[in-house]
Structure 1
Amino acid sequence: MYTKKVYKTTDMIKWTRFETLFFIIFSTIIVSIYFFFDLHWLKIPWTPIALIGTAVAFVIGFQNNSAYGRIWEARKIWGGIVNTSRTFGMFVQDMITNEHALEKQTDKALKKEIKTLTYRHIAWMNALRHSMRAHKPWETVMMEKANQDWSKMMQPPEWKTKLEDDLKPYLSYEDMNYVLSKNNKQTALLYLQSHHLRNLKEKGIIWEFAFLNLETVVQELFTLQGKSERIKNFPYPRHFATLNHYFMWVFVMVLPLAIVPQFAEIGLEISSINATVGKFFMWLAIPFYVAVAWIFHTMEKIGRTGENPFEGSANDIPISTIARGIEIDLRQNLGETNDEIPEQHPVIYDTQM
């Protein structure tokens, strides 16, 4: 447990290493100016600094709460997809029968219908996760150097494969052409599901009451898809995110002009007791400034990272793992062997994708 905590702390330090280095260099320059050029008149009173810091802290707190709310809502949506998918798989297997069929079907034909509907549902999940991983103009977290370094070590599967390749094993030639001709491919797949269920109902393979239940499940899938698309397509309000970023940087840039003179004054008081310690005391402003600036910047960075829970960063919702888990459940319940079913995506650096 201790090793894991150290690893996580080291991870955070590595994630913010470029900003931390900047804070060290910047504060060292300010202290050097004070120390070597005796510019003790260059200072800002604590009152405006405190007001700015308080405002920035409130906005950062609001941003982090909102970002966490978006992440948690996305997780609940995909948790709903898990439950509804299992329900759909169960309904399809138990409600497609010859009990009310106008023309009796063989067991092989019924199993084929069940497999077609189940595989099309897996294709729907693949289309939805690819849609969620598609880049949006406001998704800029992965453009930062630290996050780019992380993406070299691990990438979501959607960045490595094409949608067509992920759909091909689950769709017929006709369905594939139909889906690829539409802009919203996941919606097209649910339309196909509904049309297929209606045809089975007209043949009596699905009883009318069972048809209504299956259509209700498809309706719920539409609802969950729409909720997921809402988070993806509506960003965290940019005036909050952008201005907060600028406010944070204004605060950390002017903060040394209040901290360093304060430490210089304390050093003068200490000089009456110990001249050497008093002379160099202001250099302690560097670690104190770095600590404060690092906290404000890191909290703001955490908020920015959590704004878009499908962007592909390490802290996003692991929709690839969730979708693969549902696929494994559905295909195992179809009676397929583990050799036929793809393995779950690996956990890399304690992170699911």
Structure 2
Amino acid sequence: MIAYNTKEWFSFIFHFHKSDTIRQLFPVMIGIGIYAGIVGYVEVIYFGIDENHYLKNIPVMHGILGFVISLLLVFRTNTAYDRWWEARKLWGGLVNNSRNFAIKLSAILKDENDRKFFRKFIPGYASILYKHLNNSETAKQLFEDVDLELDHHKHKPNQVKQMMYNKINALYESKKITGDQLIILNAELVAFTDICGACERIKNTPIPYSYSAFIKKFIFFYIMTLPFGYSLSLGYYVVPVVVFIFYVLASLELIAEEIEDPFGDDENDLPIKKISENIKKHVEELI
């Protein structure tokens, strides 16, 4: 995740980071500019269409559709950000859950071997969950037409959770912890699976295909028809205008695509690897 100072907003204007959408869209923007220039030339120079032609009314359609497309993009970006922020809250919950579990165990356990076990496995769960969510095949678990090589009978986070639960149960059977302490520790154990399941829900349930495809098609046809109306009033200035409009609309869609899967390796994704490393540090301090 990119670290930055939110108050230094002037630097955002003149600094182009490698994750900026303008770098990704630049080749397409060049193509859109050439297309708009050709349409403007054909209409104004080749056919000699003047401002009295009925084509001058096409921008009326764009004005109406512009309101519609803005609503769609707002909903799209808000939905993507909700997924990103929910994932952040889940990993914040995992941090707190790991701390609480470690604090309780540090007070309950007296044997160093038992403490060493949980010193390893509590942060190990966060590390395994990070690798599990970062696996591209995890996102395909609900796809019916994909034959995965991943063995779903060996769910790695569940295996780590099972080993911790078996250890807790063994401590109870050996009378190292009481029944009341077992109940107290059970809440943290349950939370591990709840957090994992919620993260998997975000990971393997993308935005519905029809909705995402419709927005892309809408943006494409909206941009492709802009030069036909505006070239009559703007002339060759239609080129930068159309390119800029395309940049704004396509950038919103690209940003939404990037943050809707917050468990990847993109620069704007959550730093879950760093969070898992912090969990390891904190647990080792407590136990």
Q: What's the offset of the Cα at 1:86?
A: 0.9
CA distance in 1, matches of 2:139, 2:72: 19
Corresponding residue number in structure 1 for 2:39: 30
Aligned residue identity for 1:23: I
Counterpart of 1:247 (choices 196, 213, 218) is: 218
Answering whether residue 130 of structure 2 is matched by residue 129 of structure 1, we say yes
* Residue 20 (structure 1) aligned to one of 5, 29, 43: 29
Greater CA drift, 192-201 or 53-62: 53-62
For the residues of structure 1 that align with 2:190 and 2:138, how far apart are their CA atoms? 30
1:303-342 alignment to 2 at 5 Å?
303-334=256-287
Q: 1-side partners of 2:138 and 2:243: how far apart? A: 32
1:230 corresponds to: 201
Structure 1 consecutive aligned stretches of length 4 or more whose deviation exceeds 3 Å? 1-4, 6-11, 41-44, 136-139
Higher Cα Rg: structure 1 or 2?
A: 1
Partners of 1:137 and 1:328 lie apart in 2 by 27
Question: Residue type of the partner of 1:21?
Answer: I
Structure 1 position 221, deviation (Å): 1.2
Deviates more, 1:289-298 or 1:48-57: 48-57
Decide whether aligned partners of structure 1 residues 51 and 235 sit closer, same or farther in structure 2, where only a CA change above 3 A counts: same
Unaligned 5+ residue runs, structure 1? 98-109, 140-179, 264-281, 335-353
Deviation at 1:5, TM superposition (A): 2.7
Residue 42 of structure 2 aligns to which amino acid in structure 1?
I
Match of 1:69 in 2: 82
> Which residue identity lines up with residue 39 of structure 2 in the other structure?
I
What's the Cα RMSD here? 2.4
Inter-CA distance 119–8: structure 2 relative to 1 (3 Å threshold): farther
CA distance in 2: counterparts of 1:243 and 1:10, whole angstroms: 29
Structure 2: state its 5+ residue gaps: 1-7, 141-150
Matches for 1:257-268 after TM superposition, within 5 Å: 257-263=228-234
Distance 1:87 1:10 in 2: 39
Distance in 2 separating the partners of 1:138 and 1:192: 25
Deviations 1:42-94 (A, max 9, x none): 93622322233222221111111100110010010011011111111111111
Paired AA for residue 36 in structure 1 = I
Q: State the distance in 1 between where 2:224 and 2:48 align.
A: 18
In 2: Cα distance, 1:138 partner to 1:38 partner: 52
2:73 is equivalent to residue 60 of structure 1: yes
TM-score w.r.t. the length of structure 2 is 0.84
TM-score normalised to structure 1 length: 0.69
Overall identity of the aligned pairs, in %: 20
Amino acid at match of 1:287: P
